[in-house]
Structure 1
Amino acid sequence: MAIKKDELTSHYACIPNATLQDPRLTPEALGVLVFLLSLPENWIIRAAQIRRKFNIGKFVQQRIFRELERAGYLVKEKEKDKARTKDGRWTCRITIFQTSLKPLTDEDGQSWNSK
């Protein structure tokens, strides 16, 4: 088997191999992570958008987000959303990272996600 790679000059995402090969991620979570990393940095992530894009239900989307959070690729921060609601309801701001904030280490203690 051969792997053919084109030289890309625009419209591509740069994702570290350690992220793509992280054994903590299921194929579903990796697919969602890769999709999110392909979006512009200022993109506002909405759970409903992910559910529509991947044709999944709320339970599956929440499981994937929890998996990404446990592996260190997703961080949720609660904040008051004064702009969208008059009563200032709490919302979650989601931030996605290219590399895990919780690096996976092997039995020798060497980091997989070294930069």
Structure 2
Amino acid sequence: MGAEQTREFAERLMREVWIPYDHTAMDRFYHRDMIGHHRQQTLSFEDVGNRLQWDVPNFLESSYDIRDIVAEADKFAIRFVFECLLSATKTRFSTEVIYFYHLRDGKISEFWLLSDGDFDYKQHL
């Protein structure tokens, strides 16, 4: 995959998985044996899927303001500002997020998440 194809992959990932919180679209983008890293958490495919499902009722009126996508063959970084209304408290939440992704055979094999907000991927539905 070249840099332009990787950039298009990153844009589709956001549009098809993260913006609609669609865990059913994950197989098109993530290897089942992928590994994620966020703070002390080591994350699995299932953890990401559970997180997406948890977000649906808990993050209302969400938006992703994509600021940068840097893409090379088989890896990319994406920086965005995420905002939403927290359903539990009805307060606005905003955080800047940076993901670094490695691809293998056209799908995500590993990622790292940096954010000034603490996203607990291990939350359960």
TM band (smaller chain): under 0.3
Computing the radius of gyration from Cα coordinates, the structure with the larger value is 1
Task: Name the TM-score, length of structure 2 as normaliser.
Answer: 0.25
Task: Answer 1 or 2: which has greater strand percent.
Answer: 2
